[in-house]
Amino acid sequence: MFERIKRRSLKKRIDNNLEERDISRINSEMKTLGFLVDEGMLQELETFDSFALDYKLQPKDVKVFSFQEVKKKQPSLRHNQVNNKDFTWKGEIHNQNAMEFLDREFDVLVGYYSGKQEFLDLMISRSKAAFKVGFPGGDERLFDLIIAVDPKKIDDFRVELKKYLRVLGKLA
């Protein structure tokens, strides 16, 4: 029962975040890139580091944050990680690293997950990123661009993202 209340609160919080979104910087050129990744889908987060070279960005300008549905028993050295226990039943996030990631004003943020995932949807809606990219099957209101490729084929995604960012004038 508490899980259902928690998910309903998350949906309300998502709706509120969408109403308050600032889209004034949506057409800005990309200087920073963020990834919010579902670790259940992709565990090799180091793969995203190479995006800096592809988009002529400094490695410090590409950040990756991951989500795990359930925290594993083994200790993790990852600081940029959040799990469902970091969310209150009111839809608030109690993870300082997650809040710092979401408060950063990325020029482009990629929600690297597919389908409906309330926790990740909340994080995307809460983010102050100017332009948000996602995959089909989820809440399309969250994203400015949806790329229809298999998320497990990261090289295909890399090519498609670069193509669309160039067309939209986000790449020099």
pLDDT at 171 over 90: no
The CATH class that applies to domain 2-167 reads alpha beta
148 vs 138: CA distance, rounded Å: 12
What tens digit of pLDDT does each residue of 41-72 get? Answer: 888 888 898 899 888 899 999 999 999 987 66
DSSP E strands in 113-152: the ranges are 131-134, 145-146
Domain-by-domain residue ranges, the chain?
Answer: 2-167
Region for residue 94 given its phi and psi (left: phi exceeds 0; alpha: psi -120 to 50; beta: otherwise): beta
76 vs 48: CA distance, rounded Å: 19
What values do phi and psi take at 19, rounded to 5?
Answer: -65, -30
What residues does 136 pair with on adjacent strands? none
Q: How far is CA 8 from the centre of its chain?
A: 21
Residue the block writes with tokens 């919010």: 36
101 vs 63: CA distance, rounded Å: 8
What tens digit of pLDDT does each residue of 24-49 get? Answer: 889 999 999 999 999 988 888 888 98
